[in-house]
């Protein structure tokens, strides 16, 4: 793509043109656009958005919650961006859950942009891409940006590396208390939600979470727990109000500032790793490793061979 074209796409995306936003995302996803170039243009203008991770087991109601939050946040005159990482099955290519909710509560609203992305790529890659997508949404002026994870495995943890705030969603009657005890998951959550509170035992779960938090998160005073129901609508307003006030106060929130700083350093480290590896693999070194044969490796350690290879430019 010519730099003139990129300039135009960037200008349009910044003005909230949905096609340009999609083009930027697809461009970096497919490698047609350089992440380096896009990132250097957009990050300077992407400072007023709050990025909120929504994680929790599949079926907990993460998509349903966002669907219900959208109108509440829009009432408060803020715009919304959503990145939904789809739980595509590696075998069937379809979703794990038949009754998965699609986020469609704002089809005609140009202040709400929803983008889904597949979870099938290598995990670190998905997280990095979600982070780049969220930057593009910030650049396009979205105030509150949600990133919904698949909620299984590493994605549950890694979403906290790319967001200002991590929300963990639980539901009663699903053995979530056991999940709660999983190492590390409590530490990274800033906000808890007990969804499907229309079901019995929701209060019991809230109490359990409270107990576990007070036992393990001693150094953190206020970890809010919201009780919501996407069926009755209970608790959604309170949850939305809290998220909006996080957005309002984020510039003065030291915890968020600290996270942004550590996120920045993490990205720097990743860029350095990628750059150094790319630099290392010169044509001669690539040729060298490709030309190794069975005899070459008989009596040599890989360290020795690498040392020899490093002598090449
Ligand atoms: N009873 C009840 N069902 C809910 C509630 N929230 C979501 N659901 C249902 O739970 C299922 C999974 O919801 P979904 O939002 O796709 O969950 P996700 O996988 O976490 O995104 C859907 O059938 C929803 O209709 C709730 O508060 N109460
Ligand atoms: Mg979902």
Which DSSP letter does residue 190 get? Answer: S
Q: Which structure tokens are listed for 203?
A: 């209060």
Per CATH, domain 46-253 is 3.40.50.300: yes
When pLDDT is cut at 50, 70 and 90, the band that residue 93 belongs to is: very low
pLDDT band at 39 (very low <50, low <70, confident <90, very high): very high
Ligand index nearest the alpha carbon of residue 169: 1
Instruction: With CA atoms as reference, report the closest residue to 170 among 183, 179, 161.
Output: 179
In this predicted structure, the answer to whether residue 216 has a pLDDT above a threshold of 80 is: no
Averaged pLDDT score across all residues of the chain:
86
Backbone angles phi, psi at 166, to 5 degrees: -115, 125
Continuous H helices in 107-184: 123-139, 154-158, 176-180
Arithmetic mean of pLDDT, 139-148:
97
pLDDT the model gives residue 92: 47
Confidence of residue 122 (pLDDT cuts 50, 70, 90): low
Are the C-beta atoms of residues 148 and 82 closer than 8 Å to each other? Answer: yes
Average pLDDT over residues 248-268: 91
Cα–Cα distance measured from residue 21 to residue 30, given in angstroms and rounded to the nearest whole number: 14
Structure tokens, 183: 């190492």
What average pLDDT does this structure show over 120-126?
63
pLDDT in tens, 153-190: 676 778 888 999 999 998 987 665 556 566 567 778 88
Q: What is the pLDDT, as a whole number, of residue 225?
A: 92
- The reported pLDDT for the residue numbered 58 is 85
Higher local confidence (pLDDT), 223 or 249: 249
Neighbours of ion ligand 2 (CB under 5 A): 62-63
What pLDDT is stored for residue 299 in this prediction? Answer: 85
Q: Which ligand is nearest to the CA of 114?
A: 2
Average pLDDT over residues 261-288: 93
Can you give the pLDDT at residue 223? 80
Domain ranges of the chain: 46-253
Instruction: Output the six-digit token pair for 281.
Output: 């693999």
- List pocket residues of ligand 1, CB cut-off 6 Å: 58-64, 97, 99-101, 195-196, 198-199, 229-231
């Amino acid at each position: 793509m010519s730099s003139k074209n990129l300039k135009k796409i960037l200008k349009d995306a910044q003005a909230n043109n949905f096609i340009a936003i999609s083009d930027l995302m697809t461009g970096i996803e497919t490698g047609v656009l350089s992440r380096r170039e896009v990132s250097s243009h957009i990050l300077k203008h992407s400072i007023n958005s709050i990025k909120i991770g929504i994680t929790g087991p599949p079926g907990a109601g993460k998509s349903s919650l966002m669907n219900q939050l959208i109108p509440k946040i829009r009432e408060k005159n803020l715009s919304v961006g959503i990145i939904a990482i789809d739980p595509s099955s590696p075998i069937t290519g379809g979703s794990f859950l038949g009754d998965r909710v699609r986020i469609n509560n704002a089809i005609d609203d140009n202040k709400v942009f929803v983008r889904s992305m597949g979870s099938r790529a290598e995990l670190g890659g998905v997280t990095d891409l979600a982070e780049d997508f969220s930057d593009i949404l910030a650049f396009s002026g979205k105030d509150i940006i949600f990133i919904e994870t698949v909620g299984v495995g590493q994605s549950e943890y890694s979403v906290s590396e790319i967001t200002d705030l991590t929300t963990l969603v639980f539901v009663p009657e699903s053995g979530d208390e056991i999940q709660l005890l999983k190492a590390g998951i409590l530490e990274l959550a800033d906000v808890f939600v007990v969804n499907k509170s229309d079901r019995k035992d929701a209060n019991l779960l809230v109490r359990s979470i409270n107990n576990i938090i007070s036992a393990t998160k001693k150094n953190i005073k206020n970890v809010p727990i919201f009780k919501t129901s996407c069926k009755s609508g209970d608790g959604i307003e309170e949850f939305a109000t809290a998220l909006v006030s996080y957005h309002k106060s984020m510039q003065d929130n030291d915890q968020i500032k600290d996270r942004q700083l550590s996120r920045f350093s993490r990205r720097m480290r990743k860029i350095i790793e990628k750059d150094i590896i790319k630099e290392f693999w010169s044509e001669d070194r690539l040729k060298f490793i490709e030309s190794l044969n069975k005899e070459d490796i008989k009596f040599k350690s890989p360290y020795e061979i690498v040392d020899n290879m490093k002598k090449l430019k």
